[in-house]
Structure 1
Amino acid sequence: MRTAIVALYAGAGLIALVYAALTYRRRSGTPLALPLSLVMAGAAGWSLTSACALVAPTFGPALGFHYAIFPGVAMVVAGFFWHTMVASGHRPPRPALILIEPLLLVAVIATDPWHHTFYRKVEAGSFGVVAQPGPGYWVHVLYGYVLMAVGTVLVIRAMRRAVRGQRRTYRWFLVGAIAPTAGNLVTVFLDVDMRGLDLTPVLFLVTGVVWWWSDRSGVTSERVPVTYAQVISALSDAVMVLDPHGRFLDVNPAATKLLAAVNPAGGAVIGKRWQEVADPHFTAMVADTGQTTISGPSGEVYDFRVVKIEAADGSSTGTVVVARDITELERLRAELTEQAVRDGLTGVYNRRQLDAVLEAQAHAAAEGHPLSIVMIDVDHFKAVNDRYGHAIGDQVLVHLARQLTGSVRECDMVARYGGEEFVVVLPGVPAQAAAERADLWRRQCAATSVETPLGTLHVTFSAGVAQLTAGGSPDDLLRLADEALYRAKRAGRNQILVAEPTSTSQHW
């Protein structure tokens, strides 16, 4: 029986020692390696010294090996607590704090034969040394179990907060720790028949197998598990948690930055009500759930999502507010929207937008407001392209578009109708006044020159002016203006003609 127990102690010690060495080699890849190797090294020392105590030839060496068990025990406790701190997302304790109890323990057991504080009485037993614990022993036991209890609570809390895929990391860690813990409880607090036999080192075989299996099966014990708090802290969105009364319970770094921007004098927000911290633009938003977009006082735009958290009985336990700064997104969206209605070459509105605006303006004209358009066509544009090249032709169109947009009111519209044709929409302007303005543009265009490699180029344009008639449609308006333009070009170009409702034209 003794031989079998020695073999178990020695086997457990050697397995733990090998595992400690292999884990230590991974210390550069994971912060969990060092504390885990410390646990297994302590378990190895615990098991091997227990084996030596059983095979010692006399009581004196057996007692010495028995005392030598406890530095290994201290290493296990310190390594376990260190491991749980790192795995649960906390800063590891300072080495000096971890070493205080082991150093004091070594000092106490080294001098125990003189003061008997650790063991009141020791004697030979069937399985090594049988000792009567003293106050020093119970302080050591209490310290170890308090430290392990705190670590276990940290792991359980971290497991509850962890993302689903990493919860099993904590489960297997706890499973591996249960067996030796249970064995130690039985050894310390129960009167087992085989007095002097410590079950704990043997049960570290279970720990080694479980943790080895978790590594081999891909249970990610080599990485510090990710908690929901770490995920939320990494988000660029502002996340704020409020209690049922609107007081801040928690905010992530992005929320702290956002609240400081909207209320620089706000200071710390935890415990304050939403209305005390947030800008007035935002306070009413929290009352209702859902999604909304709010513009800040300085022009910034925020997307807000408000979710009410409910308990199982339906009562409200708080509110989660997620805010995202979408100012740049809105700017890009407006820019893309603007590009979709603009002509790519000249920058004026395109044909699609012209049709939409004429349709809208036609409804206003139906209420008695005049609506006129000027349809413009560059004279001899094909000849310009043929002689000077399409690049110069494009330059002419761009120049004319800029000239027109610089000469119209804010409510007017300049659009490229197609090719070298432009349409200017003039709401509230009757046909005769529109023709006068168009003739001014014509003279400005004729007086403007474009420099080319082949010399100075002067261009002119012809235009047809039409006013929407009662009961007329945008298509009718475009048709009348096009007919007037056609007549102006047939009449010699570089002139303006006004279409009459009877489809006759007046020369300018």
Structure 2
Amino acid sequence: MGSALAALLTARFAWRRRQAPGATPLALLLLSLAVWTLTYALHWLDVPPGAVFWLDATFFGVVGAPVCVWLLTREFTQPDRPMRGLEWLTLLAVPGVTWGLLLLGDPGGVLFGTGPTQDAHTRLAGGPWFRVVVLHGYALIALSALALGQFWLRTSGVYRRQAGVLLAGLCVPWGVNFVSVLGERPFPDFDLTPMLFMVTALVFLWGLLGFRLFDLVPVARHQLVEQLGEGVLVLDGQGRVLDLNASARRLADPALAHPVGHPVTRVFPRRGGDLAAQINGLEGQTELLIDGRSHEVRVSHLRDRAGRSQGQVVVWRDVTRQRQAEAALRRAHQELQARLTEIERLQAELSEQSVRDPLTGLHNRRHLGRALEVLRGQPFSVLLLDIDHFKAVNDSYGHAGGDAVLRAVAGQLAGAVRPGETVCRYGGEEFVVLLPGVGTDAALAWAEGWRQAIAARGVRLGGQRVPVTVSLGLAGAPEHGTDPDRVLLAADGALYAAKEGGRNQCRVAPPPVPEGTSPEAPALECPT
């Protein structure tokens, strides 16, 4: 009775912590033990309906306890691996059949056997199903002890102590029970196993209150490692896998059910060699391409007190989307830069068009004003040119003929100037040539050469050659002043003098007359 009460008390504590992995199976285990010990006590007290009835009833707890032990161990050591349908079927098949036989009164003695002299003690000799129950129960106990032992070896601190509590609580009564079933009992008519479950209950109670069993189970690993989106891999010094989480397991060989303990090249056959080669000796961060996806990999060494590497922790994160987003951002930036360049080109083209004459392609009067302003205070020459008798060309050949003449003269001027010199259409049939840094003497020689070349070439209109001549006026700074507008005005006066003097000639503006002197001399004529 005391064992049953202790088991029920401990089950109450475990049930209050049922949110923790393993707490619910522990509570069910203790309830099974309470049923076992209570019915066994009633059997000895020969409470009606009789000792045989209560002895048979103990098997409701006997076959349930190993199942709860396995569920407890599995949830404690592998909280990230839920039971599947086939596993549940395998686990519950034997208890289900046993409970069915008990409820039906063990027809045919399948569970307890048959015999005319059978009593409460000889029934445990058992029938054929009794052996199945025994093998099933001890197989589950052995697997549980093995799993707890492995967990105890690979953990430390409070987790190791918790595993030790579970091992101590499970192994003592089950060991005695194993001896009892083999027939080597200290008391032939008395099974000590239910009594020793008092020890199990007290050990678990001690673990719940002293070691905070199921308050400090490895929930942290399950929540912080198993549920991480990053892959986590732990290797020993020989490159063997010690641990890996669910994200890393997705990249592992699916044919390898238990990758722990195998070389990394076996666990990751398609990329293990590359992975091992690239992380060998590495400590820090790198980036690897795995199955066509980019992974950011961080490697940390596990070192002993002497600083020697005993293994590695490898954490990788799939950064494919991030890299794709970065690539898309770079492409968008490049496209934006290309568009900005195109806009700047179009703006420059528009700006250039705004200072260009659409007919001749030369700069216009707006550009001339800017160019003259740049030359303020600098030496330069300015040449003003006018096509002789242009109105007669328009009258004879129409505006199309006049346009052809304008384009021909503009082309000759544009081809004759050097870089840095400017040719502008001043208006109508007039053109301006700016010659920075050129004195009037040199400018006069060039102007005369241009005049002769234009006159010698002419323009073909309507299938015939039409002679074209030009008149030119020349002025320069600082001879005719430092203000660009005054220099241009002097060149205009020289052009007027050339036209008045008979056209097809070049005149240089006379120097300005100082105040208080006689009027300025006539413009000098270019030699012809």
Larger Rg: 1 or 2?
2
